[in-house]
Amino acid sequence: MRAATQILRALAVTALLLACGAAIARGFIQNPELLDKIKIGVTTDKEVEQILGPPAGRSHFPRLNQTSMDYTMPGDMGKNRVDVGVIIGNDGIVRDIQKIPRYGP
């Protein structure tokens, strides 16, 4: 009985760690060259998710009829990250890619 309980606890901890790792990686672009695969006016939001993975979040701009799929790219040695917004029109097509440098830790 004790061994079964310990095994269940170990499985629960492992599942929790795996879920946290996926949440941390969400919206993080490991390879900046992946952005080159996204073509403005051609690539769809579904294709963006296939290329970059799920975004960290989505920012909606109803007056502009656009949505930003929000990602982050690493900078130099963990500093100077770059926030990336892939701008999607109401038709689901990429309209722009915006990169905003974040200086500091």
In the sheet where 94-101 sits, what is the strand order?
A: 57-61, 66-73, 82-89, 94-101
Token duo for residue 102:
């974040």
Ramachandran area for residue 80 (φ above 0: left; ψ -120 to 50: alpha; else beta)? left
d(CA 14, CA 33): 32
Q: What is the pLDDT of residue 81?
A: 87
d(CA 58, CA 88): 10
Q: What angle do CA 12, 18, 20 make, to 5 degrees?
A: 100
pLDDT tens by residue, 86-100: 999 999 999 999 999
pTM: 0.72
Mean pLDDT, rounded, for 32-58? 96
Mean pLDDT, rounded, for 28-57? 95
Percentage with pLDDT > 90 across the chain: 60
Mean pLDDT, rounded, for 35-39? 97
Domains along the sequence of the chain with CATH: 28-101 (3.30.1450.10)
How does DSSP classify residue 29? -
pLDDT tens by residue, 75-87: 766 677 899 999 9
